[in-house]
Amino acid sequence: MNDPRAARPIPPMRSNRGWQDAPLEATDEPLVPVTGASARIVDRAEYHRWGVDGAMPESWLRADVAARLGRAADGLPGGMTLVVWDGYRPLAVQAHLFRNYLLELAAVHPDMPADALEDAASKYVSMPSRSALCPPPHLTGGAVDVTLGDAAGEPLDLGTPFDAFVPEAEAHALEDVPGGPRDLRRLLHWAMHEQGFSNYAAEWWHYDHGNQFWAHVTGHTAIYGPAERPG
């Protein structure tokens, strides 16, 4: 790969623990469909494809976040697309995902206390909350799950599938493993970073702008509180 971003290592990232305490001054910015931001964005709306009850058939983001995503897509090497797996996520879907993962963990660790199970689950799926002070990142419309795709929009191999809750999913996990997946992760990371996104350390596919995840790791004030489901 000739793009210099693919040769640039992903740096260590700050933990998101304590993100709920990041300052928030919410603005009233609309949600827009992601596909309107660039012809090189492919929307898979993965949870809808998987049949998750309440999942939306298309992905939406805050208008400025979608515009930034469009610029990231347009800046990719020729023959590549930016594939969106998820954007704005209704609270009912967040609750479904959290509950299911909590049950999976409980089955594997039957003796783990309830609070420890919830803490472990929240590493990969934020706890559902209606609080305007600390809404789940995807509920704000400022979080997006993305990968790189080929010209037809088929996802490329970045080392793990979407929602693989394993150590290899950490953004930095492949830095000592030369090869295509590592280089593609680097390319995705820097393409998104150039547009102001922060990358969640535990999930290479998860990026944020304007919400409290982003505010916590960048030192800025969050501008996106909970958003209402469009339509």
Give residue-wise pLDDT tens across range 85-140. Answer: 999 999 999 999 999 988 998 999 999 999 898 889 889 889 999 899 999 999 99
| Averaged pLDDT, 5-10 | 98
pLDDT digits (tens, 9 = 90+) for 29-74: 999 999 999 999 999 999 999 999 999 999 999 999 999 999 999 9
CA-nearest of 52, 74, 50, 70 to 62 is 70
At position 53, the amino acid (one-letter code) is: D
Its CATH architecture, for the domain 4-218, is: 2-Layer Sandwich (3.30)
The rounded distance, in Å, linking the Cα atoms of 231 and 229 is 7
Which of 191, 140, 145 lies closest to 164 in space, CA to CA? 145
* Nearest in space to 125 (alpha carbons), one of 152, 159, 86: 86
pTM of the model: 0.95
Compute CA distances 182 → 5, 151, 157, 169, 172, whole Å.
Answer: 11, 20, 9, 11, 9
User: Is it the case that residue 231 has pLDDT exceeding 80?
Assistant: no
Q: At what angle do helices 91-108 and 114-121 cross, to 10 degrees?
A: 120
